Structure 1
Amino acid sequence: MLPRLTAKARVAAMTITPDTKNWTWVLERPCPECGFEAGAVAPEEIPGLLRDNAEAWRALLAAGVVAGADGLRTRPEPAKWSPLEYACHVRDCCEVYLGRVSMMLEQEDPQYPNWDQDETALAENYNAQDPEQVLAALVANAEQLAERFAEVAGEQWQRTGHRSDGSDFTIDTLARYFIHDPIHHYWDVTGRRYES
């Protein structure tokens, strides 16, 4: 069971301004912040990119665990998540997108259930979670999703699904849209731009 949020922690968690941007533009041009060009990636490259990213998070979190969890829980500024919060988000994104890809493979043009990442971060008290457990789950979830993407073949890449906001995806575009997220959040934490 996760610790309950104290009043101070609730106020701190609420200082994050929810991200309401539609990030689908990353399929059309390189991200000016992290440097990743999702539109140039072949869908077959996604499993390897995801595994590489999970290993980068493993190294980052393991170093923080050794040095002490306080640094992992520290927000660089009030309106930006801590490294641990970003890691929790990446872990949960892998789980959410595993569900979305599975829906697209098993159903005709499904609409994905809504997922509010900011509400989840608050409800799950991301910054109070155990870094070692987060790390283990992030790597496991990334591997499950990588395996799922690796199973997609041929015309399956063109199967469709959509969000309630009207954004339509094929498994191909969903994979490339998704992989920007963990790569971008690694940049959020480290400042290291993506290099292919």
Structure 2
Amino acid sequence: MDTPPSPAHTSEPPVIAPDDKDWTWVVERRCPECGFSASDVPAEAVAGTVRDLVPRWVAALHRDDVRARPASTTWSTLEYGAHVRDVMRVFGERVQLMLDEDDPLFANWDQDATAVEDRYDLQDPQVVAGELAAAAETTAERFDGVAPHAWERPGRRSNGSRFTVRTLGQYFLHDVVHHLHDVRA
């Protein structure tokens, strides 16, 4: 079972270079790294796909080596799991915003700063697993609630990237699947 972090693990984790890639292209073509093709997922299947992915994340977060980084500059399964939990929360909020407002501008979310500030590396993996599952269900419910005419409602990221509810769902799914690939789950 997972052991609590030792005192050596309570110092700041090694800095990981921020991911500054623009991943929005994944809604148009297959990801060569993880193999996921977001555009192949019909909008109405986003919620079910989210739910289908949760058991894989929960199992990964129960591994004995959940805190181990494969390299000092690569997140551990725990850190990826905490990130995906927060992705679930952020995208759930964004979907709701797109349904409630006309063409909203999303608040910026610095995922790398959040990982350091919230000390993903020190969180309890069993708690993260439960929170990830709960956030996934909330987000899935929001996608379940999208009316047929609302899938093309627009929204924008702070960097100007434009999405519809449909493409945001597809983009979001790629993130969740891609990180399962990262942790080999």
Same fold by TM (over 0.5)? yes
Whether 2:133 is the aligned partner of 1:131: answer no
**Of the candidates 136, 145, 157, which is equivalent to residue 151 of structure 2?**
157
**3-state DSSP of counterpart to 2:88:** helix
Question: Are the aligned partners of 1:13 and 1:122 in contact in 2 as well (CA < 8 Å)?
Answer: no
**Distance in 2 between the 1:133 and 1:127 partners?**
13
Name 2:11's counterpart in structure 1. 9
Point out the structure with the larger helix share: 1
Whether 2:47 is the aligned partner of 1:35: answer no
Q: Which moved more, 1:119-128 or 1:45-54?
A: 45-54
The number of residues matched between the two structures is: 180
Residue 6 to residue 100, structure 1, CA distance change in 2 (3 Å): farther
Q: Deviations over 1:32-76 (max 9, x none)?
A: 1111000111011111111111111112223x1xx3xxx111110
TM-fit CA distance, 1:13: 3.5
RMSD: 1.7
Residue 6 to residue 110, structure 1, CA distance change in 2 (3 Å): farther
**Distance in 1 between the 2:60 and 2:68 partners?**
14
**3-state DSSP of counterpart to 2:71:** coil
Q: Which runs of 5 or more residues in structure 2 are unaligned?
A: none
**Distance in 1 between the 2:10 and 2:140 partners?**
38
TM-fit CA distance, 1:8: 7.1
Amino acid at match of 1:97: F
**Of the candidates 70, 78, 81, which is equivalent to residue 75 of structure 2?**
81
The sequence identity of aligned pairs, in percent, is: 48
Amino acid at match of 1:76: P
Question: Are the aligned partners of 2:48 and 2:140 in contact in 1 as well (CA < 8 Å)?
Answer: yes
TM-fit CA distance, 1:7: 9.2
